[in-house]
Structure 1
Amino acid sequence: MPVHASDHNDAARRQASDTLMADYHGQGPGAALLILKNGQVLHARGYGLADLDSRQAVDGRTNFRLASVSKQFTAMAVLLLEHDGVLGLDDPLARWLPGLPPATRTVTLRHLLTHASGLVDYEDHLPVGLDKQLRDADVLAILRGQDRTYFPPGSSYRYSNSGYALLALVVEKASGQAYAEFLRQRLFLPLGMNHTHARTDDGPAIAFRAYGYRQLDGHWQRSDQSLTSAVLGDGGIYSSAEDLARWLAQLDTPRVLPASLVSQALSAANPVHGELDVSHYGLGWRLHPGLAWHSGESIGFRNVLIRFPEQRLDIVLLSNRDAPEPYALARRIAALWGAPQP
């Protein structure tokens, strides 16, 4: 991944960024940092290890489980199908996934995209004695047994992994393709994201894979998968800083994707309640004034993507350890490169 110098201060900014990343240096689980401005890579570096057993170092090619950062790709898949005329965002969910209980009858695809559905959290209703990983279809089965919602659909906001798991199934039903294959053909390959995958056991192996870890009694312990890690629509995509640079450059200057879809994904759709400042959810993105971002937290991984549209600045910080959440650190690094102070 070439790094393009923009002015004589960039070397100092790179050094200061590396200093802020000091906790990820060394022989523990690491992180990948990427800084883009005007679509150009200004800084890209890996820190620490992707795999403690093989001692494989993190670099720009290392693929991390994105967790909820995956939601922006699920949302774009739905938008592509709307653009194709195959579905509408205001379609009732029941049109695509029949058999859900009466309490969900007014839920639409738009409600799922914007966390306005009120669907119950599937993680709170795992089958007793579950000893294998759930798939997206298992989430649907769980929700078919829950005839209630947290609020009338469309009336409020509550972050919902359930909704995005169902959206992956809608993509499959509407496209006639497996979710992973639709993403590969319609998003990842056209954008040159050749090593990005929605991971399935029968799919391609994840090249340059980072494994997740947690610290226990002062030692790092592999903690890479949970019972919900195979659910794809809400968090099952693996990608690297290099591939995400291509994605972010496309959002900055759409050339492959229709610009109208990028604008739609990044437009405020549903107010986020409980925040201290003005905040909305778009379609797979959290939106504040002058700022679009999304984090991804799952067992063994903590990630964040942040965009500053006015400064045309993007920050990617991916890590394969269960703490800390990197949003605050990414904001501090962004401030070095001209973003507003957090």
Structure 2
Amino acid sequence: MPSLLPLLAMAVLSGATAPLNDPASAVDALMQDYAGHVPGASVLVLRDGEPLLRRGYGMADLEAGIAATPATNYRLASVTKQFTAASILLLAEDGALSLDDPVRRWLPSLPPAADAVTLRQLLSHTSGLVDYEDHVPAGFQGQLRDADVLRILEGQDRTYFTPGSEYRYSNSGYALLALVVGKASGRDFARFLHERIFQPLGMDHTVAHQDGIDTVSDRAYGHSRADGSASGDWTRTDQSQTSAVLGDGGIYSSIDDLARWDAALYDDRLLQLQSRALMFSPATPTGEPDVPHYGFGWRLNGDSAWHSGESIGFRNVIVRWPAQRLTVIVLSNRNEPEPYPLALAISKMFRAPAP
């Protein structure tokens, strides 16, 4: 996005954090490449639970000419992980499981190499379990489900490292956590999410999507550049072989529903204080300079907690500054660019000056 690079660089790299006189117009300028008949985005800025900016840009469905709005539901991809983590924490509060349970207590078909792996390690990406994406059986047709991930891992009697000794981001771990939620709660993962998180919070249009079982209202469809270049035509790329795995990335939601989720992270309406503290406490160092720690479903970087979501045709991010009660959410139905720098640039327009 050449036209935006200078503005992005100024906003992100500048030491100034004073709000702009007309931040909405400045955000519109940042989002200009999402406007028009192109795959779009929805953007939300919240302070103290109130929307400071709430916008849709471009198209949710390019082929049908349906515009993106604040109610548009995007595939969250790995932003889903915070909901998977919350599900495990809710069950821990219920006494249905312990974070230090061996995963094989709940999924005994895993091989002996997983003996030492705990739920806590799955949550913090320190299990060392192999990446299921690298071991999809040759000739596998259709889409993988969470149960397929378990079957793949049943044949991998090894780990990348001694469980608990290192950090390695793992979609495998979160797919297994979804299955643990099902075992410990006695209901499937999608139903648990609906009954224990989405319905109580009024996230009425959010769903862990299962094709043929539910529908996604106001759905955004993912797109990528046809030739992989910055100037190619857009083509629909909405689903991949792994898009139906729920625990690591299968939720669809909107900025309006995510505002309700954000609000619940400040008080006891969903999770107890101790559980929220665990979510946002540094569970493990990552060794990554830009994201020094990981909690449970959240990347932690100084005064902010955030997570991105990357899937074929979708790029999303939620960034929270709890001390300022400020949150920026950017959901998009295109394969590029990554929205984290964009969210930081937007935040600069609304954040209070540094003391």
> TM-score, normalised to structure 1's length?
0.94
Matches within 5 A, 1:158-177: 158-177=168-187
1:135 aligns with 2:142: no
- Per the TM alignment, residue 115 of structure 1 is displaced from its structure 2 partner at its CA by 0.1
- Superposed structure 1 runs of 4+ greater than 4 Å apart: none
The separation in 2 between residues aligned to 1:120 and 1:15, in whole angstroms, is 46
The separation in 1 between residues aligned to 2:290 and 2:197, in whole angstroms, is 33
The separation in 1 between residues aligned to 2:34 and 2:112, in whole angstroms, is 49
1:47 aligns with 2:57: yes
Q: Letter of the 1:52 partner, please give it.
A: L
Q: 1:277 to 1:131 in 2, by over 3 A?
A: closer
Q: 1:146 to 1:256 in 2, by over 3 A?
A: closer
Residue 37 of structure 2: aligned partner: 27
Question: Which runs of no fewer than 5 residues in structure 1 stay unpaired?
Answer: 1-8
1:312 to 325, 331, 338: 325
Assess if the C-alpha contact under 8 Å between 2:20 and 2:349 holds in 1. Answer: no
For residue 317 of structure 2, give the secondary structure of its aligned residue in structure 1: strand
Residue 4 of structure 1: aligned partner: none
- RMSD over equivalenced CA pairs, Å: 1.4
Assess if the C-alpha contact under 8 Å between 1:313 and 1:339 holds in 2. Answer: no
Residue 148 of structure 1: aligned partner: 158
Deviates further, 12-21 or 43-52: 12-21
Q: Letter of the 2:302 partner, please give it.
A: P
Q: Letter of the 2:160 partner, please give it.
A: Y
The separation in 2 between residues aligned to 1:40 and 1:279, in whole angstroms, is 30
Paired-residue identity, %? 60
Residue 121 of structure 1: aligned partner: 131
What is the number of equivalent residue pairs in this alignment?
332
Residue 110 of structure 1: aligned partner: 120
Matches within 5 A, 1:1-342: 12-217=22-227, 218-273=232-287, 275-276=288-289, 279-338=292-351
Question: Which runs of no fewer than 5 residues in structure 2 stay unpaired?
Answer: 1-18
The separation in 2 between residues aligned to 1:103 and 1:278, in whole angstroms, is 29
- Per the TM alignment, residue 159 of structure 1 is displaced from its structure 2 partner at its CA by 0.0
- Per the TM alignment, residue 288 of structure 1 is displaced from its structure 2 partner at its CA by 1.0
Assess if the C-alpha contact under 8 Å between 1:308 and 1:339 holds in 2. Answer: no
- Per the TM alignment, residue 100 of structure 1 is displaced from its structure 2 partner at its CA by 1.3
> TM-score, normalised to structure 2's length?
0.91
For residue 294 of structure 1, give the secondary structure of its aligned residue in structure 2: strand
The separation in 2 between residues aligned to 1:103 and 1:184, in whole angstroms, is 33
Q: Letter of the 2:301 partner, please give it.
A: H
Assess if the C-alpha contact under 8 Å between 1:111 and 1:153 holds in 2. Answer: yes
Q: Letter of the 2:87 partner, please give it.
A: A
For residue 315 of structure 1, give the secondary structure of its aligned residue in structure 2: strand
For residue 318 of structure 1, give the secondary structure of its aligned residue in structure 2: strand
- Per the TM alignment, residue 203 of structure 1 is displaced from its structure 2 partner at its CA by 2.5
- Per the TM alignment, residue 10 of structure 1 is displaced from its structure 2 partner at its CA by 7.3
- Per the TM alignment, residue 216 of structure 1 is displaced from its structure 2 partner at its CA by 1.2
The separation in 1 between residues aligned to 2:268 and 2:57, in whole angstroms, is 31
Residue 3 of structure 1: aligned partner: none
Q: Letter of the 2:88 partner, please give it.
A: V
- Per the TM alignment, residue 196 of structure 1 is displaced from its structure 2 partner at its CA by 0.4
The separation in 2 between residues aligned to 1:145 and 1:324, in whole angstroms, is 36
For residue 334 of structure 1, give the secondary structure of its aligned residue in structure 2: helix
